[in-house]
């Protein structure tokens, strides 16, 4: 049993949604495109899961955050996939138009959404995918958008993380679980393991849900992959003012359950009984279907500037793709929503209009919103750091200067114009001769570029 498509998107997350929108903009014909996703719902904006989704009141729920609302574009509901193929294909002759409308009405045409379906193997030579249900789906062009999975504590030798109140966060099912466990933990204690993005955003959501939070992580400060100690100290002070406690430089060894049913986190200097635990200790890209078949690098599928893998029929986008970052002259794999959206769109452009599509020229962009705070970062956090602004107020930031050029910019509490200015300045990589002068000019430097 099998079906054949011209284009197949494997994975139904952020990148898949933006790729689908781009396909329809560029003119995919009815029945040509299929999206296969393990998740039971159409692509959605994953960032909502650690923010609006976990609010105690007026929480975000689907269908409100299907892609592509995160980029102020159309919201692609399941109905949209049934109906959206380029209108020119529907109007060649009126009679054909009628037939196509009939087929679409009966869900025979449109974009095929194959949901709740895991692909268990891929045969790159035969250009086929085999689903867990035993169906073979063949493609002419495949876009791999399988994203990543959350790392489990067991992978670091910690036992007991399968306990009922230990939560991870990658997909909707995880978010529903956290929301349920939070409801029964109001007024109680939560331990957040990991001081990265998930740790910081979930800690804020737990506090907003009136749960006491202790954060535990191995590094000397939070967000160690991006923040300088000075930036981290601002956020840690802010979190402390909200009642969050920090246990740094520590990894736990195991979980236990005490006589009152509370989780005990073992291996740390202080006892930490908890009603719930949220774990955010990083991710691994979902590459296993292609290991031994495609070239891998930096933990992801290696692609060229057209997002094309070592097999010319296969493209990779989003968290799973390791692509050439032109601005810094090296291959990188990014784990952020903006690169998922833009790499997906670029791949579709390269597929549909190869002659008009150049190399992907991307400026890394990361952001987060926690409590009343909001920051943006552009570029690379490499080289020497210059801090600017008022670290005791609401607006401050940092520049990174490498080999005499501005390569990265961070800003907390900026306006739209100020964020645009740091993005533009970073993309231009201006020469910086005097770090003290850059510090003196602060945000004014970016605004004047
Ligand atoms: P994504 O993970 O979105 O989608 C992958 C899809 O492939 C999933 O639907 C998965 O089920 C499916 N799949 C995998 N293997 C499969 C198989 N074998 N068969 C079928 N389907 C399969 N970034 C940012 O810049 N700002 C932010 O605020 C946030 N916030 C945030 C919150 C939370 C809770 C998470 C988990 C992540 C973020 N991110 C973020 C990161 C951002 O969401 C991430 O970079 C993108 O979702 C990546 O998009 P992809 O489409 O590559 O993967
Ligand atoms: P992360 O890489 O941001 O942070 C991982 C953290 O885990 C580290 O900071 C460290 O403190 C901790 N850690 C690592 N090994 C550990 C161990 N053995 N024991 C205890 N702690 C350990 O990853 P994350 O926070 O899990 O986020 C997962 C993914 O989701 C990332 O790709 C991230 O980019 C994405 N995400 C992004 C955003 C955003 O951009 N605003 C928000 C949420 C999630």
Q: Residue range 390-396: average pLDDT?
A: 94
Of 4-13, 24-33, 277-286, give the lowest mean pLDDT range: 24-33
From ligand 1's centre to the CA of 406, what distance in Å?
Answer: 30
Residue-wise DSSP of 138-203 = EEEEEEE---EEEPPGGGGT-B-TTSTTEE--SSHHHHHHHHHHHHTTTTSEEEEE-SSHHHHHHH
What pLDDT, in 10s, does the model give residues 279-303? 999 999 999 999 999 999 999 999 9
* Residue with tokens 């290696």, as numbered in its chain: 302
Of 98-102, 192-196, 303-307, 331-335, give the lowest mean pLDDT range: 98-102
> Which residue's CA is the closest to the ligand 2 atom numbered 16?
281
What pLDDT, in 10s, does the model give residues 187-240? 999 999 999 999 999 999 999 999 999 999 999 999 999 999 999 999 999 999
50 CB near ligand 2 (under 6 Å): yes
333 CB near ligand 2 (under 6 Å): no
> In 3-state terms, the chain is what percent helix, strand and coil (to 5)?
30, 30, 40
**What ipTM goes with this model?**
0.99
Specify the pLDDT at position 105. Answer: 46
Q: Residue range 352-356: average pLDDT?
A: 97
Q: CA-CA distance, 92 to 362, in Å (whole number)?
A: 38
What pLDDT, in 10s, does the model give residues 136-164? 999 999 999 999 999 999 999 888 888 88
Closest by Cα among 386, 368, 385 to 377: 368
Closest by Cα among 41, 421, 398 to 227: 398
From ligand 1's centre to the CA of 148, what distance in Å?
Answer: 6
- Res 265 pLDDT > 90: no
Ligand 1 pocket: which of 76, 201, 336, 364 to mutate (most atoms <8 Å of CB)? 336
Specify the pLDDT at position 273. Answer: 83
Q: Which helix (H) or strand (E) holds 300?
A: strand 300-302
Specify the pLDDT at position 88. Answer: 44
From ligand 2's centre to the CA of 340, what distance in Å?
Answer: 17
- Res 415 pLDDT > 90: yes
Specify the pLDDT at position 84. Answer: 77
Predicted confidence band at 107 (pLDDT cuts at 50, 70, 90)? Answer: very low
Closest by Cα among 275, 247, 227 to 385: 227
- Res 254 pLDDT > 90: no
Specify the pLDDT at position 91. Answer: 47
Q: CA-CA distance, 168 to 176, in Å (whole number)?
A: 11
Query: If you average pLDDT over every residue of the chain, what do you get?
Result: 93
Specify the pLDDT at position 159. Answer: 85
Q: Residue range 331-359: average pLDDT?
A: 98
Q: CA-CA distance, 236 to 245, in Å (whole number)?
A: 9
From ligand 1's centre to the CA of 340, what distance in Å?
Answer: 8
- Res 86 pLDDT > 70: no
Specify the pLDDT at position 264. Answer: 80
Specify the pLDDT at position 101. Answer: 54
SS3 334: coil
Q: CA-CA distance, 445 to 449, in Å (whole number)?
A: 6
**Atom number of ligand 1 nearest to Cα 48:** 32
From ligand 1's centre to the CA of 13, what distance in Å?
Answer: 5
Alpha helices (H) along 317-403: 337-352
Ligand 2 pocket: which of 204, 254, 280, 410 to mutate (most atoms <8 Å of CB)? 280
Nearest ligand, CA of residue 198? 2
Q: Residue range 82-94: average pLDDT?
A: 59
Of 26-35, 94-103, 109-118, give the lowest mean pLDDT range: 94-103
- Interhelix angle 197-208/229-241, rounded to 10 degrees, is 20
Specify the pLDDT at position 109. Answer: 60
From ligand 2's centre to the CA of 279, what distance in Å?
Answer: 9
Q: Are 342 and 145 in contact (CB under 8 A)?
A: no
Q: Are 337 and 365 in contact (CB under 8 A)?
A: no
Q: Residue range 366-383: average pLDDT?
A: 97
Look at the chain and count its residues.
449
Ligand 1 pocket: which of 130, 146, 196 to mutate (most atoms <8 Å of CB)? 146
Q: CA-CA distance, 422 to 440, in Å (whole number)?
A: 16
373 CB near ligand 2 (under 6 Å): no
Percentage of residues in the chain having pLDDT higher than 70? 94
Q: Residue range 340-353: average pLDDT?
A: 98
Q: Are 402 and 330 in contact (CB under 8 A)?
A: no
161 CB near ligand 2 (under 6 Å): no
Predicted confidence band at 258 (pLDDT cuts at 50, 70, 90)? Answer: confident
What pLDDT, in 10s, does the model give residues 48-59? 999 999 999 999
Percentage of residues in the chain having pLDDT higher than 90? 85
> Which residue's CA is the closest to the ligand 2 atom numbered 19?
251
Specify the pLDDT at position 286. Answer: 98
**Atom number of ligand 1 nearest to Cα 150:** 36
Nearest ligand, CA of residue 194? 2
User: What value, to the nearest 5°, has the Cα angle with vertex 325 and ends 323 and 328?
Assistant: 150
151 CB near ligand 2 (under 6 Å): no
From ligand 1's centre to the CA of 36, what distance in Å?
Answer: 14
Q: CA-CA distance, 267 to 218, in Å (whole number)?
A: 12
β-bridge partners, 285: 148
Q: Which two tokens stand for residue 243?
A: 């009642």
């Amino acid at each position: 049993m099998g079906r054949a498509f011209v284009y197949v998107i494997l994975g139904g997350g952020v990148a898949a949604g933006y790729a689908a929108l781009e396909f329809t903009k560029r003119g995919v014909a009815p029945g040509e495109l299929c999206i296969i996703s393990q998740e039971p719902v159409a692509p959605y904006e994953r960032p909502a899961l650690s923010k609006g989704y976990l609010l105690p009141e007026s929480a975000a729920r689907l269908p409100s955050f299907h892609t592509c609302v995160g980029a102020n574009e159309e919201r692609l509901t399941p109905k949209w996939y049934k109906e959206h193929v380029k209108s020119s294909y529907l109007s060649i002759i009126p009679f054909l138009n009628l037939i196509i409308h009939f087929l679409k009405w009966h869900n025979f045409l449109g974009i095929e959404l194959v949901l709740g379906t895991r692909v268990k193997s891929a045969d790159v030579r035969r250009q086929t995918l085999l689903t867990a249900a035993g169906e073979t789906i063949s493609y002419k062009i495949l876009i791999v958008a399988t994203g990543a999975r959350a790392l489990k504590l067991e992978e670091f030798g910690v036992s007991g993380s399968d306990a009922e109140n230990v939560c991870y966060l990658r997909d909707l099912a995880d978010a529903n679980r956290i929301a349920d466990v939070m409801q029964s933990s109001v007024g109680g204690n939560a331990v957040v393991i990991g001081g990265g993005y998930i740790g910081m955003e979930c800690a804020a959501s737990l506090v907003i849900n009136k749960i006491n939070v202790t954060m535990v992580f191995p590094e000397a400060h939070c967000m160690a992959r991006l923040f300088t100690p000075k930036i981290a100290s601002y956020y840690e002070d802010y979190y402390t003012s909200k009642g969050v406690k920090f246990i740094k430089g520590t990894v736990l060894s195991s979980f236990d359950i005490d006589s009152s049913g509370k989780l005990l986190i073992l291996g740390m200097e202080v006892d930490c009984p908890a009603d719930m635990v949220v774990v955010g200790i990083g991710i691994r890209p979902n590459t296993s279907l292609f290991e031994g078949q495609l070239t891998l690098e930096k933990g992801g599928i290696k692609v060229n500037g057209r997002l094309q893998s070592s097999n010319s029929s296969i493209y990779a986008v989003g968290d799973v793709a390791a692509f050439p970052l032109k601005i810094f002259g090296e291959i990188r794999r990014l784990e952020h929503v903006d690169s998922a959206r833009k790499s997906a769109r670029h791949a579709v452009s390269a597929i549909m209009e190869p002659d008009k599509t150049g190399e992907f020229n991307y400026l890394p962009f990361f952001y987060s919103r926690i409590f009343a705070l909001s920051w943006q970062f552009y570029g690379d956090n490499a080289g020497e750091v210059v801090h600017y602004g008022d670290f005791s107020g609401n607006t401050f930031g940092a520049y990174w200067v490498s080999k005499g050029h501005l390569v990265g910019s961070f800003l907390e509490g900026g306006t739209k114009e100020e964020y645009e200015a740091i993005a533009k300045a970073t993309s231009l990589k201006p020469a910086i001769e005097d770090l003290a002068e850059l510090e003196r000019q602060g945000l004014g430097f970016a605004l004047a570029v």
